Amino acid sequence: MQTLTLFILASVAIGVIGKIVFYPLIQSLLEQRTEPNTEHENFHAIKALAEHHEVAEVLCNLIQKDGAGSWPPSTNHTHTTWPLALQAYKEIYLELAPLLPQPNPSLDDQTNINRISEFRQRFRKLLCERVDLVEVKKVRSMEIVRASKC
C-alpha cells in the first residue's frame, strides 16, 4: 500500500515539476517558431521536391489542378460573383438544406424511404426548373480551357 502511495505521489510530483519546467520552455519555442514567408514560397518548395519524391509530385498536381495554384484553395463564397449559370445550384441548396434535418426522426424504414424519395423528387424538380445545363456546360468548358492554359 505504501509503495502505491509513493508511486502516486512521485507521479504527481513529476507532473507538477514537468509542467513548471517544461511548459515555459515549450511556450518559448513555439513563440520563436517562424512561419513561412508566403504560400508562394511553400508551393515552389513542394514543386522542387516533386522532381524527386512521388508524394510531393502528387501534392503538387493537386495544388495546381484542384487548388488553382494555392493550398488551401482560395474560394469565393460571394454568391453574386458566381457565373449566372451556377447561381441556381446555390439557391437550390439554400432552399433545400433546412429540409434535411427531421424534427421527428423515424426508425421505420418505409417512412425513411418515403422521406428520402420525396426529398430527391423535390431536388430533381428544382434542378430541372432552374438549371440551364447548356449554360453550365459552357461555363465548365471555359473553366477547363482556362485551367489548361495555367
pLDDT digits (tens, 9 = 90+) for 65-87: 766 666 666 666 676 778 889 89
Which residue range forms the structural domain that includes residue 131? 76-150
**DSSP annotation of 67:** S
pLDDT digits (tens, 9 = 90+) for 9-36: 666 666 666 566 556 656 665 565 555 4
Asked whether residue 52 is assigned to any structural domain, the reply reads no
For the chain, what is the domain count? 1
Asked whether residue 80 is assigned to any structural domain, the reply reads yes
Q: Collapsing DSSP states into helix, strand and coil, what is residue 147?
A: helix
pLDDT digits (tens, 9 = 90+) for 85-115: 989 999 999 999 998 888 888 999 999 999 9
Most distant CA pair in the chain, distance: 81
Q: Give the position of cell 515552389.
A: 44
- pTM for the model: 0.49
